Amino acid sequence: MSGSTYGKSFIITTWGESHGKGIGVVIDGCPAGLPLNESDIQAFLNRRKPGQTKYSTPRKEEDKVSILSGVFEGRTTGTPISIVVHNENQRSSDYSEIASYYRPGHADYTYDQKYGFRDYRGGGRSSGRETIGRVAAGAIASALLRELGVTVYAYTKSIGPVTIDYKKCRKDFTITSPFFMPDPEASAMAEEYVMQKLNENDSVGGIIECIVTGMPAGIGQPVFDKLDADLAKAVMSIGAVKGVEIGDGFASAQHTGSENNDSFYYDGTGKLAKLSNHAGGIAGGISDGFEIVLRAAIKPTPSIARLQHTINKNKENIEISVKGRHDPVIVPRAVVVVESMVAVTLLDHLIMGMSSRLDYIKDFYRGR
């Protein structure tokens, strides 16, 4: 019950510590027959790899993926897919000091409170490397969603005070931007801002937006397992996320009903449309067939070189400076993680959606 499993139909279980032998995921419930090879997954993992720009840690993490089970002759077999990324260059000696105190903004203290001790090397299980398993699962979920015509796209909406407008978003520029910020001008401004804070031995946060297109209407569950509730959990479970909103989110709290309601209409061709999408594609926990829009607030990197107060295990007040070079901003590398968790959640609900009506089940089993 330590909660390393997520999903009800497409079920992922992650394992691994930053400086253990490896990081991995087991995916149970992936339907049989999906074409899959390691390069499909590697492409996703590469999007979260560090060391690609000056704004991410220069640590060398190759993160080479291996599929150990569940794929035969290039297709998924329907049985569990086990994926592993072996850790390299685990220089545990770097972490002798960290073992003795609690870094502000990290989970060092809470892990010790829960477990009595912790694998202190590189954050152990609370390391950002834990997301490797999520992203590998997300790559598979995304491949399957593509087969169903569903596309999940996440990007950096804000870095500190620099925010872009989705309407001006240039998707093709996403991977060119060091921040996955699909607006060249804003991306350049963000570079300047991050550089400044980095020089001040500080770090910054930001906002990731995720847009889903092609989602059929009628997917989700009506009460606790609402599609938006599960998306909120999925995204909030990512390390540095401190807030999640759907559609207009917190802004809708200041709107009136007449401003916030989305009116349906049939357009000239008789196709169903909405005058607006303040709801972000979900009503009553169930998709309405329009774009699903979700945002996640990412806190600034807690590891900063600036001097900070904290305590050590001898119950002393001390001052520390977190050594080593760390990402001055977590946001860019978290983009693919948000996208992955959204993909896994949508797929889970799409599978569950196949049995909501008796006629669906009867159609399926007719003649079988």
Range 335-364, binding a copy of itself (CB under 8 A): 350-362, 364
Please state the φ and ψ torsions of residue 146, each to the nearest 5 degrees. Answer: -60, -40
In the complex, minimum distance from the CB of residue 185 to a copy of itself, in angstroms, rounded to a whole number:
19
- The residues, ordered by sequence, that sit 6+ positions from 112 with a Cβ below 8 Å of its Cβ are 102, 118
What character string, x for contact with a copy of itself (CB under 8 A) and - otherwise, covers 198-217?
A: --xxxxxxxx--------xx
Whether 273 and 266 have beta carbons less than 8 Å apart is answered as yes
Quick check: 4 and 14 in contact, CB under 8 A?
A: yes
Q: Indicate which single residue of 244, 334, 342, 346 sits in contact with a copy of itself (rule: CB under 8 A).
A: 244
C-beta of residue 238 within 8 angstroms of C-beta of residue 338: yes
Give min distance, CB of 194 to a copy of itself, in A.
10
The verdict on 257 binding a copy of itself (CB under 8 A) reads yes
Structure tokens at 297: 């607030």
Name which of residues 7 to 26 contact a copy of itself (CB under 8 A). 8-9, 11, 13-17, 20-24, 26
Angle formed at CA 166 by CA 161 and CA 172, multiple of 5 degrees: 105
Q: Rule CB under 8 A: which of 314-333 touch a copy of itself?
A: 315-317
Stretch that binds a copy of itself, among 37-45, 179-187, 292-300, 332-340 (CB under 8 A): 292-300
Q: Which position among 51, 161, 184, 324 is part of the footprint of a copy of itself (CB under 8 A)?
A: 161
Name residue, tokens 């400086």. Answer: 19
Beta carbon of residue 106, minimum distance to a copy of itself (angstroms, whole number): 7
Name which position in 52, 57, 277, 308 contacts a copy of itself (CB under 8 A): 308
Burial class (CB in 10 A: 0-12, 13-18, 19+), 258: exposed
* The dihedral formed by the CA atoms of 109, 239, 16 and 230, expressed in degrees to the nearest 10: 120
C-beta closer to a copy of itself: residue 51 or 218: 218
Neighbours of 111 (CB within 10 A): 19
Is residue 230 involved in binding a copy of itself (CB under 8 A)? yes
Phi and psi (nearest 5°) for 93? -60, -30
Q: How many residues of this chain interact with a copy of itself, rule: CB under 8 A?
A: 168
Among 34, 186, 337, 343, binds a copy of itself (CB under 8 A): 34
Instruction: Please tell me the total number of residues recorded for the chain in this structure.
Output: 368
Among 109, 151, 153, 325, binds a copy of itself (CB under 8 A): 109
Q: What is the largest CA-CA distance in the chain?
A: 73
Q: Which is nearer to a copy of itself, 169 or 238 (CB)?
A: 238
* Window 113-152: contact mask with a copy of itself (x via CB under 8 A): xxxxxxx----xxx---x-------------x--xxx---
Q: What are residue 107's phi and psi, to 5 degrees?
A: -95, 15
Residue from 248, 337, 339, 346 in contact with a copy of itself (CB under 8 A): 248
Stretch that binds a copy of itself, among 40-48, 54-62, 176-184, 308-316 (CB under 8 A): 308-316
Beta carbon nearer to a copy of itself, 41 or 144: 144
Using rule CB under 8 A, residue 93 touches a copy of itself:
no
Using alpha carbons only, what angle is made at residue 49 by residues 43 and 50, rounded to the nearest 5 degrees? 160
Backbone angles phi, psi at 326, to 5 degrees: -120, 160
